[in-house]
């Protein structure tokens, strides 16, 4: 089959990464990608796979590009059009219908559609999509179990919602050398948090938890890694205030996240809002147990292999991190590390994800109508 993916952009995000993995590991179908915006991180990566990528540089004042997209789809003649993220779901599916294509799949990855927490424009689009979900798509892919129940309650067509979690390549396993590179004693536990700086990631909650641990004279070193983390004045000032300067290092985003995850003893996700956090699963692939807040599908991903705490609670977060640190090196710890990787293999492998998408596409194509 010929699958055209229409996505809002190709920057560094979870949806973009999942799309890239589908194009890379699905050998049964031909994939073509259309970015409504310009080029981004995944433009070159997709090109390196031999994937044809079109970038439209779409904005609110370039409605004529909707007609260009329609014409492009007519010339490509795809068997399936799969759209990613709310703007692409809206624009892409309308263009597809104008092109006479009815085999449309939405991929919704929005984890929070509460009125107070969504931009007005996005809220308008979401409300339109709820109505259009009964008309435009043949199926709607949801990446998060909690989001699935949320979308049902908000009014999306329940019959079309299908849960397909992200998949991960278990071949990407390697032992990192962050301790050696940063000259950290092998006996010092390494904690990490890989997340962009954003209030929703609640780094300040993590810093407060770490200060409570340090107050007990428990030694550790923590890496905070992500966009807008390095030289972040808010974080630097808070680290100084909490007297954690010797215990924390701020790092820029890295190309290969597995290098960091495999170097950590513990990965902490301290967010107050998530959908399906990739970093949790990616750390577990590297046999790195996680302490997570109970938001989105974090607890579902971790299962019994890690620790789950309420969001925005530094005291409880500190207690679980302390438990994890004290367990490092024990027989129970080694068993936990192996179970973390095994859980990803059993529930979230790349093969399982690709098979789920192929099953969905084949079902739609079998009953195609133009």
In tens, the pLDDT along 322-364 reads 999 999 999 999 999 999 999 999 999 999 999 999 999 999 9
Distance CA 225, CA 222 (A): 10
Same domain, 282 and 197: yes
In this prediction, residue 364 carries a pLDDT of 94
* Residues 95-108, mean pLDDT to the nearest whole number: 96
Same domain, 335 and 252: yes
Burial class (CB in 10 A: 0-12, 13-18, 19+), 309: buried
Distance CA 191, CA 184 (A): 12
Query: Using 50, 70 and 90 to split pLDDT, how confident is the model at 238?
Result: very high
In this prediction, residue 368 carries a pLDDT of 55
Residue 61 included in any domain: yes
Residue 107, pLDDT above cutoff 50: yes
Residue 280 included in any domain: yes
Local structure of 3: helix, strand or coil: strand
In this prediction, residue 272 carries a pLDDT of 92
Same domain, 219 and 116: no
Same domain, 158 and 223: no
Same domain, 335 and 353: no
In this prediction, residue 14 carries a pLDDT of 85
In this prediction, residue 59 carries a pLDDT of 78
Residue 33, pLDDT above cutoff 60: yes
Report the first-to-last Cα separation within the chain, whole angstroms: 15
Residue 172 included in any domain: no
Residue 51, pLDDT above cutoff 50: yes
In this prediction, residue 119 carries a pLDDT of 72
Same domain, 228 and 148: no
Same domain, 231 and 96: no
Query: Using 50, 70 and 90 to split pLDDT, how confident is the model at 114?
Result: very low
pTM of the model: 0.87
In this prediction, residue 58 carries a pLDDT of 87
Which structure tokens are listed for 348?
């979230």
- What is the DSSP secondary-structure string of 189-222? -EEEEE--S-GGG-HHHHHHHHHHHHHTT---EE
Distance CA 26, CA 132 (A): 29
Residue 239, pLDDT above cutoff 70: yes
Residue 173 included in any domain: no
Q: Tell the residue number behind the tokens 């991180």, with chain if given.
A: 41
In this prediction, residue 192 carries a pLDDT of 96
128-183 pLDDT, tens per residue? 999 999 999 999 999 988 888 889 998 999 999 999 999 998 886 666 666 666 66
Same domain, 102 and 232: no
In this prediction, residue 147 carries a pLDDT of 86
Residue 18, pLDDT above cutoff 70: yes
Calculate the average pLDDT of the chain.
91
245-256 pLDDT, tens per residue? 999 999 998 877
In this prediction, residue 62 carries a pLDDT of 75
Same domain, 190 and 339: yes
Helix/strand/coil percent split, the chain, to 5: 45, 15, 40
In this prediction, residue 115 carries a pLDDT of 43
Candidates 308, 315, 18, 307; CA nearest to 142 is 18
Same domain, 45 and 60: yes
CATH code of residue 52: 3.40.50.2000
**Total of domains in the chain:** 2
Residue 233, pLDDT above cutoff 60: yes
Same domain, 136 and 262: no
Share of the chain above pLDDT 90, in %: 77
Which structure tokens are listed for 115?
């009125």
Residue 27 included in any domain: yes
The alpha carbon dihedral of 147, 281, 313, 272 has a sign of negative
Give the domain extent around 40. 2-167+349-366
Helices 203-215 & 233-241 angle (0-180, nearest 10): 20
In this prediction, residue 118 carries a pLDDT of 58
CB proximity list for 229: less than 8 A, separation 6 or greater:
196, 197, 235, 250, 251, 252, 253
* Count of other CB atoms within 10 angstroms of residue 359: 12
In this prediction, residue 370 carries a pLDDT of 44
In this prediction, residue 122 carries a pLDDT of 79
Same domain, 293 and 314: yes
Instruction: Answer yes or no: are the C-beta atoms of 51 and 23 closer than 8 Å.
Output: yes
* Residues 203-213, mean pLDDT to the nearest whole number: 98
Which structure tokens are listed for 364?
């739609």
Residue 117, pLDDT above cutoff 60: no
Candidates 135, 132, 161; CA nearest to 148 is 161
């Amino acid at each position: 089959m010929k699958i055209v993916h229409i996505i809002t952009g190709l920057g560094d995000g979870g949806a973009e990464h999942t799309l890239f993995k589908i194009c890379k590991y699905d050998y049964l179908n031909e994939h073509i990608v259309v970015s409504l915006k310009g080029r981004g991180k995944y433009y070159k990566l997709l090109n390196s796979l031999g994937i044809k990528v079109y970038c439209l540089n779409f904005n609110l004042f370039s409605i004529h590009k909707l007609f260009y997209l329609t014409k492009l789809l007519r010339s490509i003649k795809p068997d399936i059009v799969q759209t990613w993220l709310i703007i692409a779901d809206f624009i892409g599916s309308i263009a597809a219908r104008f092109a006479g294509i009815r085999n449309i799949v939405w991929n919704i990855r929005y984890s929070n559609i509460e009125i107070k927490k969504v931009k007005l424009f996005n809220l308008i689009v979401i409300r339109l999509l709820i109505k259009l979900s009964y008309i435009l798509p043949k199926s709607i892919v949801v990446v998060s179990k909690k989001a699935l129940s949320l979308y049902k309650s908000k009014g999306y067509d329940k019959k079309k919602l299908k849960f397909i979690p992200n998949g991960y390549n278990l071949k990407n396993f390697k032992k990192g050398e962050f301790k050696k590179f940063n000259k950290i004693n092998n006996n010092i536990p390494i904690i990490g948090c890989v997340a962009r700086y954003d209030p929703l990631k609640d780094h300040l909650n993590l810093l407060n938890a770490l200060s409570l641990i340090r107050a007990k004279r428990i030694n550790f070193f923590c890496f905070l890694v992500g966009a807008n983390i390095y030289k972040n004045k808010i974080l630097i000032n808070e680290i100084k205030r909490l007297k954690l300067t010797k215990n924390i290092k701020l790092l820029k985003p890295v190309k290969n996240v597995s290098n960091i995850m495999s170097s950590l003893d513990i990965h902490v996700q301290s967010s107050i809002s998530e959908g399906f956090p990739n970093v949790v699963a990616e750390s577990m692939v590297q046999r790195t147990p996680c302490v997570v807040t109970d938001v989105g599908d974090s607890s579902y991903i971790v299962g019994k292999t890690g620790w789950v705490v309420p969001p925005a609670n530094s005291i409880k977060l500190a207690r679980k991190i302390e438990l994890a640190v004290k367990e490092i090196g024990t027989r129970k710890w080694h068993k936990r590390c192996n179970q973390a990787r095994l859980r990803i293999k059993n529930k979230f492998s790349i093969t399982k994800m690709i098979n789920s998408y192929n099953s969905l596409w084949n079902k739609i194509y079998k009953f195609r109508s133009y």
